[in-house]
Structure 1
Amino acid sequence: NPTARGCTNHMCSQEQRFQLLKSHCEKNPQLKDSYDEDNEQTYSRLLVDDKHKLLYCALPKAASTTFYNMFYYSYTGKLLKQVHCKSCWEEQGLVFLNQFSKPERDQRLRDYYKIMVVRHPLDRLVSGWNGKYTRPYSHATWRLHGPRMIEMFRKLQENTTLQQEIEKGATFDEFVRYVNYLETTDGEDHNQHWRPHHRLCHPCSIHYDLIVKVETMQEDSKVVLHKLGL
């Protein structure tokens, strides 16, 4: 009984999260299929903070903007004006784990405190839709995927062309059907903004120390703030 050991509510919830994660990983061994320890791209979402000896898996649409700013502020005392300014992080030495050699990666994976931030997958999907597809042609993600999903899932009416339908934009139903189609094929065509957690952060293969939920981030992130000295 975790309570009998005197753990706080926060620590008990962390223990429950890891127990749930372990259970799902054991029941679904295929969740490990996307992890290739020798492929540097496996680690392309893990931000390295050598100053505080932290690794953070930056999952898009799961408070990544907030966490990027937390790390940057801990180095500079300033917030990022452009949060996706990769050169701004690199100037401070904040780079992703795939940029290191395998021995350097292995050492950090072994010794650093590892953080994963998760969000309810349907909320994350809706966030991706709102950010990329509600304004057709305004985002590169739409230009890459929007026409394809309309072509695949919309039945053309008489006297209409595919281009005319594309100009109307995609529907949320078409977007969900498209995402499901990608997941049931090879899954590798997923855009990072909706690619499942296990394909980016590999929680069944990488042993994280902290699981932060977007829904309870105010409480969960206290551990991170403390480690960053904020």
Structure 2
Amino acid sequence: MEHPPSKSPKMGRSRLLRVSLILGSVFTILLIIIYWDDVGATYFYLHTTISGPHTTRPPPAANPDHKPKTEPDKDKDKDKEPSFLSDIDAFVNQFLLSTMDPTDQARGQNLAGGGDAQNQSNESKSDEKFVPRREWKIHLTPIAPELKQRQEERKATVRSVCGANSSLEFPGKNRTFDDIPNKELDHLIVDDRHGIIYCYVPKVACTNWKRIMIVLSESLLVDGAPYQDPLDVSREQAHSSDAHFSFNKFWKRYGKFSRHLMKIKLKKYTKFLFVRDPFVRLISAYRSKFEELNEGFYKSFAVVMLKRYGNVTNPPTSVVDAFAAGIRPTFTNFLQYILDPNTEKSAPYNEHWRQVHRMCHPCQINYDFVGKLETLDEDVEHLLRILRVDNVVQFPTSHHNQTKNNWEDQWFASIPAEMRRELYKVYEADFKMFGYAKPEKLLHE
């Protein structure tokens, strides 16, 4: 009787090898999918160069008389930009110039170095050509050491106030990031294309920063292409929630993975905010919302203030009629509204006078950059360099901090001292956390 031929050991090993390869491939693919959903997309955005259509405005020419404020940092052992990045930037600049036609090449060099006045004059007379933003020169000069030191001091101040050794207590100080409700994360705007998270604070140049975020994230289109110049983004567009992807929208997109993804981005991305003297910010909020025609704020807040504190039983139904009759809440009425315990029983403070630490959660989020309106120009230049987008976008010029002039005499002279002290307690955490001196004279007069 014949027996069936036995399987060759070699064939068995070959089949086992094929099965192992198939299983290994499937496992690898699953790992890739998980990595991409979790971390890979973040890494991709952080290391992808974004180019787009030409800006609708020509880039500003550099000032030929401008000189660096400080000598390059000679201390090689301290916080210094990696030299290889500067080498790469130099190579990119040289490559861009070499690929341009002679006319554009001369113009590119002129814009980068200032050029002579005659060339700049001739260029301004013609709108036929302008250097695309991707061909602007990348700044290679080191960031001034005093600016780096300024940031270290500001961040250290925040950490000290939030730390366990600080005697100052305020709501939300000791909670974790997971304890923060989604609705309180609406001020954290994300740009995945460049790896940036911006916490906007109303009345602190936030309109222009929102414009910058729209341009960088390419979240809005005009004629089918992303906006390339922040000044082309209207104020209404800048403040539209549809134009920004904020943390409080993560839940709808990512579901139960939203918090995990937030933490990844908070760890990987560069996070920044801008702040302002708390009392000056209050004055600015009052001026823009109650001294100007604003129907929404009139109906939502001014009418309440007039009835409660202004002895106006039946305020006009519209802001136009109210202004025509000379009826509007005073600055004192505004502060009374803020200090009234009943105010927040119905809803939290409006974002224009809500404390910064309640919007940006600096005790739970370790910000990489803390800017101030009082040093806006220097801080903007420094931050755009850190973000490595100073060759991509320029911060719009504006008349900032106008409220600061004589604010103490003009605005608080008629406010009772006791009310001033109560107001300071409400905003004390912001004063201390962001390094603003306690207004002793104002509180003890």
TM-score, length-normalised on structure 2?
A: 0.45
**1:17-55: CA deviation from partner (whole Å, max 9, x where unpaired):** 122222322332324258762521221100101111110
Alignment match, 2:185: 43
- Following the alignment from structure 1 to structure 2, what is the Cα–Cα distance between the partners of residues 211 and 187? 32
Alignment match, 1:125: 282
Residues 139 and 112 from structure 1, CA distance in 2 versus in 1: closer, same or farther, beyond 3 angstroms? same
Deviates more, 1:161-170 or 1:68-77: 161-170
The answer (yes or no) to whether the contact 1:45–1:96 under 8 Å persists in 2 is yes
- Selected match of 2:382 from 195, 202, 223: 223
Structure 1 residue 29 corresponds to structure 2 residue 186: no
Residues 223 and 89 from structure 1, CA distance in 2 versus in 1: closer, same or farther, beyond 3 angstroms? farther
Written as runs of structure 1 = structure 2, the 5 A alignment for 1:85-104 is 85=237, 94-100=244-250, 101-104=258-261
Which one-letter code corresponds to 2:286 in the other structure?
A: W
SS of aligned partner of 2:271: strand
Residues 164 and 183 from structure 1, CA distance in 2 versus in 1: closer, same or farther, beyond 3 angstroms? closer
Which one-letter code corresponds to 1:99 in the other structure?
A: K
The answer (yes or no) to whether the contact 1:53–1:112 under 8 Å persists in 2 is yes
Task: Report how far residue 185 of structure 1 moved.
Answer: 5.6
Structure 1 residue 145 corresponds to structure 2 residue 301: yes
Residues 215 and 186 from structure 1, CA distance in 2 versus in 1: closer, same or farther, beyond 3 angstroms? farther
TM-score, length-normalised on structure 1?
A: 0.82
Structure 1 residue 11 corresponds to structure 2 residue 148: yes
Structure with larger Rg: 2
Task: Report how far residue 206 of structure 1 moved.
Answer: 1.0
**1:100-141: CA deviation from partner (whole Å, max 9, x where unpaired):** 2222212111211110110111121111111110136x3312
In structure 1, the gaps of 5 or more residues are none
The answer (yes or no) to whether the contact 2:211–2:233 under 8 Å persists in 1 is no
Which one-letter code corresponds to 1:213 in the other structure?
A: K
Written as runs of structure 1 = structure 2, the 5 A alignment for 1:182-193 is 188-193=347-352
Alignment match, 1:55: 197
The answer (yes or no) to whether the contact 2:210–2:239 under 8 Å persists in 1 is no
Task: Report how far residue 182 of structure 1 moved.
Answer: 5.2
**1:176-213: CA deviation from partner (whole Å, max 9, x where unpaired):** 12112259966953111111101101112211010000
In structure 2, the gaps of 5 or more residues are 1-74, 80-144, 219-226, 251-257, 391-445
Alignment match, 1:172: 331
SS of aligned partner of 1:27: coil
The answer (yes or no) to whether the contact 2:214–2:238 under 8 Å persists in 1 is no
The answer (yes or no) to whether the contact 2:186–2:246 under 8 Å persists in 1 is yes
- Following the alignment from structure 1 to structure 2, what is the Cα–Cα distance between the partners of residues 183 and 47? 31
- Following the alignment from structure 2 to structure 1, what is the Cα–Cα distance between the partners of residues 369 and 342? 27
Residues 18 and 87 from structure 1, CA distance in 2 versus in 1: closer, same or farther, beyond 3 angstroms? closer
Which one-letter code corresponds to 1:13 in the other structure?
A: R
The answer (yes or no) to whether the contact 2:158–2:363 under 8 Å persists in 1 is yes
Structure 1 residue 203 corresponds to structure 2 residue 203: no
- Following the alignment from structure 1 to structure 2, what is the Cα–Cα distance between the partners of residues 188 and 198? 17
Pairs aligned (count) = 219
Residues 95 and 153 from structure 1, CA distance in 2 versus in 1: closer, same or farther, beyond 3 angstroms? same
Name which structure has the greater RCO, CA cutoff 8 Å, separation 6+: 1
Deviates more, 1:173-182 or 1:183-192: 183-192
